[in-house]
Each structure stands twice: as C-alpha cells, then as structure tokens.
Amino acid sequence: MKRFFGSILFATCLGGAVVGQVKPPFVRSQPVVIDFRQQGQRIDNIGASGCWFSESIGKYWPKEKKEQIAEWLFSREIDASGNPKGIGMSVFRFNIGGGTAEQGDSSGIRMVPRRVECFQRPDGTYDWSKQEGYLWFVRQAKRYGVEQLIAFSNTPPVQMTSNGYGYKTVKDFASNLAPSRYEDYAQFCADVIKHFDSEGLHFDYISPVNEPQWAWMDKPGEASQEGTAWKNDEIGHVVGALDSALADQKLDSKILITEAGQLNYLYGGSGLAGSQIQTFFPGRSTAAHLPRLIGGHSYFTESNDSTLVAVRKKLADTAHKYAVDFWETEYSMLADGFRDGAKGSRSAIDCALFLAKVIYADLTVANASAWQFWNSYEPGSADSNTRYYLIALKPDKDFKDGGFAATKNLWVLGNYSRWIRPGMHRVLIDQDALNAVRRVMVSAFTDGHRTVIVAVNYTNEPQELDLRFLHGPKVKRISSYVTSAADNLKYYPVAVKGAKSLLPRSVTTLVVN
C-alpha cells in the first residue's frame, strides 16, 4: 500500500490576494505525484552572463544605480514584506576580452560597447587594470556569495589571431587563432585564471571556445561582436594545450567545452563541429581538467513545441549513452519562436513565460544540470519584446550613465535561480512534456530538507494542482512566490492544506519545508 506523507492542494489566487478554501467551480485539479525516491540530475548552478555593458555600467554609472542592478542579479535577501530583493543567481559568467576595444574603430566591430579590452598587451606583458567595469560585477557576485564563476572567451587576443582582428574575415569555419599560437593562447587563459586566483576571485571553469559552428563575420572588415569558428580538431588542440597550462601552474579550474551554438550540434549536425558529445567523450578523457561535461546553447531549437521537446530528448539520450553531463550555457529569444505564432509585439509576461517554457524543457527533458541566460543587461524596453535581456537599459549617448528597469524575464529566471540551489536533485515527475509545455509545466527539486516546486501556467485560465508527496519528510511550512503580469516574485503564504489556484499566465515557486 502506498504511503502518503501529505496530499496537498496548492495555488496562488486570482488577483494576487489569498483566498480561503473555496474552490472555483470551473477549475479542475491536476494531480502531480512527487516521489522522492525518483531522482534525476544534480543541479550545479543557475545564472547568467554579464557581457558588453558590464564595462560601462561598472566603470562609470553612479554607485546607487549599479548597486541596484547587482542586488537584483545576486542578492538572496528578503525584504520586510517577505519578497526577494534579487534572484540570487548561483553562477555568473565573465567575458575575457580579445582586445578589440584597444583597436577602436579599426577593430571593425560596429557597436562600441561590444568591443572588449584585453589583459595582455601586444608585447606579451599584462595590464590587470583592464576590464574594470566587468570586474566590478564579478566582485559584486563574489560579495553576494554567488557560488560559481565562469570565465569565457569569444576570441583569442587579437595579437594571436591569423588576421589581426577579433572576428573572422574568411567564411571557412576554421579557427581564427594562428596555428603557431595554441600554446600561447592556452598560457594566456591560464595566466588570467592564476592572476584572479591571487586576488581571491576563483573561476571554477574556463571556457576557451564559443559557438564554434558560426562563421563569425558579417562582411570583410565588419562584425557585430568578437568571435571565431572552431573545428572539432582545433577544439581538441586547445583543450590539450589548456589542460597542460593549467597543470603547469597548479590550477584547479576546469575546462568547459564546447558552448555549441545550437543543442543539435551536440549530438548531430553536419560540418566540422558536429556530433560533439561523441567526438570529445567517446571514452575516458585524458585531460585531467576536462570533466565529462558539455555545454550548449538553446538558441534556434524552440521554433515550435514539437521541436523544443524532440531536440532535447535526443540530447538527453545521447548524453546518457556517453555518460556526459549537459549544461545549458546561453539562451535568449534570438529567433521568433517566442511569438507562439502571434504577430506584433509580445508583452513582457509573454516573453517571460516563453523563457520559463525553455527552462522547463531544458531541465526536465534535456536533463540540464545548469542553466545560464544571455544577457544580464542590454538596451531596450521593459514592457514588450524583452527577448534578449533580464534588465533593460536606457543608456546615454556615451554609455556612462542612464536609466534601467527590471523585466519579467529577471523575475521568472528568479523563480528558478533563487531557490533551486547547487547540489539539489531534480525529482522526476510523470508529466508528458509536449502536453505540459502547452498548458501547465511542473518541475521539482530537493536537497532532502527543502523541496522547490516551480509551476508554469501557460494558459489564460486559472489552474489548480493537487500535489501528492511520497516517501519524503512531513510538510511543515509552504511559501509561495509568484511572477505574473502584476507580480514580481511576490510572496504569498500558503496553507499546508487547502485548495489554491495558479494565476493565469504566471510562474509560481512553492518552497516546501
């Protein structure tokens, strides 16, 4: 006979006010069984990148403005009303620049903030005063207790590239790193890690390759950002050289590859940078600093619900076969799937709900152990088509000051990042993913003492969950945090027993103690 440690009906109520135990007659409860014996992947981290605009904000913006941005991203504090002050990210990604900022207009990178300074001068010496703004945010992440830091590179230093630029000028899908400079590039990456270790800023991972499948050129002499393609054999060369450089300097940072531009390149795809799981992890790795871990980006694989689920199922199957952990290391709504077939602008909550759909699919179908967003802040609106950023910037003409506003994307990411902490395990839930992503998506995570349930109501109607716990501790207290068109991670107390409903078009996090 199955033993239930609690049969609990949860929800938040319509309009944000807590109602009593009266169940709306038109709402039908959906049973969700959470069996603590059925556990999935371990969660390593959830967070975002802080690229490009970090430099101007961190270096020039008034203290109170940049400190508010940092609080939104990193804080785990609760205000007097019980609401979170920030989304408490557990990982932050730092971009090691390639030197296009020093090149100025001759760099060919059109947008000034996307030109990034380099710590290494052309003569091989170092200037550690560079990237001051970027490092301000890294230090804030450390101060707030963000558990993991990742350093990633879009291009080798321009003095090491074949063409002297921070991007490709030939569409051959080969690396822009000069063939004779692999060891130099590896040494540069290790030097950066070692220097910041000495300052107390430890980067847990170094990612030397980014989106190797793309050509990384708009036209000769012009690009939108730093970047280079890489073939699989070139990535292997970098990994070997970097593994040796880290070992020589007695550094324990791990190497993160391959930051594939689309998830399907991890298990398939044509060209010289496809089937990357099979290529890099056919058996036991000989690189001591390379864990059985691969990163990929969720762009362009969510054009419709069927594709969203099918791609992630294939990825999960391949990763399992080769005993490789998968991290989702970049995503924003670059393609038009977020429109869900609608025309015109999408509201902030529409964008945020689509973001929640992708996070749900990556965690529950692809079995991602980590999830990281691109980008923390960019110029734009906080009200509509918030597809690329967590915080919308309104910078002045020289980017040295400006306005800013939190988007619904920020708070929906917080529905996951604030309470799903490193070391938790996902609790498997018997839910058909293709049906769920069209209606109500439920995922659960536990550390044995606290259980976090995230419910995404994608419908225009209130929904109700009947959560049944099996083989777990007795439920003592429940807290609810809601993001909707009206709420931003707003706290609502939840009775242990009694019917509550999920708001239409909302994300609710239930923290069960």
User: Tens digits of per-residue pLDDT, 341-353?
Assistant: 999 999 999 999 9
Instruction: Indicate the pLDDT class of residue 2, thresholds 50, 70 and 90.
Output: very low
- CA-CA distance, 198 to 474, in Å (whole number)? 46
Shared-domain flag, residues 92 and 207: yes
Which residue in 87, 109, 88, 97 sits closest to 54, CA to CA?
Answer: 97
**Residue range 178-204: mean pLDDT, rounded:** 98
Q: Domain ends where: 366, 396, 422? A: 422
What pLDDT, on a 0 to 100 scale, did the predictor assign at position 27?
64
* Domain count across the chain: 2
Instruction: Indicate the pLDDT class of residue 3, thresholds 50, 70 and 90.
Output: very low
The answer to whether the CB of 424 falls within 8 A of the CB of 42 is yes
Can you state the angle between helices 182-198 and 232-248, rounded to 10 degrees?
A: 40
User: pTM higher than 0.85, yes or no?
Assistant: yes
Q: Is the backbone of residue 108 left (phi > 0), alpha (psi -120 to 50) or beta?
A: left
Shared-domain flag, residues 91 and 183: yes
Average pLDDT of the chain?
93
Evaluate if residue 289 carries a pLDDT over 70: yes
Q: Residue 124's CB: how many other CB atoms inside 10 A?
A: 11
Can you state the angle between helices 348-364 and 408-417, rounded to 10 degrees?
A: 30
Instruction: Indicate the pLDDT class of residue 475, thresholds 50, 70 and 90.
Output: confident
- State the DSSP H helix or E strand holding residue 96, giving kind and residue range, or none if neither: strand 91-96
Host domain of residue 470: 4-41+428-512
Shared-domain flag, residues 163 and 231: yes
Q: Which of 96-105, 237-246, 363-372, 463-472 has the lowest mean pLDDT?
A: 463-472
Could you tell me the two tokens for 297?
């980006």
The answer to whether the CB of 266 falls within 8 A of the CB of 294 is yes
What pLDDT, on a 0 to 100 scale, did the predictor assign at position 6?
36
Shared-domain flag, residues 319 and 358: yes
Q: Which of 16-20, 139-143, 250-254, 310-314 has the lowest mean pLDDT?
A: 16-20
What pLDDT, on a 0 to 100 scale, did the predictor assign at position 87?
99
Evaluate if residue 409 carries a pLDDT over 60: yes
In tens, the pLDDT along 492-512 reads 988 777 545 799 999 999 999
Evaluate if residue 309 carries a pLDDT over 70: yes
What pLDDT, on a 0 to 100 scale, did the predictor assign at position 270?
75
Shared-domain flag, residues 219 and 353: yes
Shared-domain flag, residues 389 and 496: no
Shared-domain flag, residues 203 and 241: yes
Instruction: Indicate the pLDDT class of residue 39, thresholds 50, 70 and 90.
Output: very high
Strand-pairing partners, residue 296, are 260, 328
Evaluate if residue 232 carries a pLDDT over 90: yes
Which residue in 173, 264, 257 sits closest to 209, CA to CA?
Answer: 257
Backbone angles phi, psi at 100, to 5 degrees: -75, -25
Residue type, position 57, single letter: I
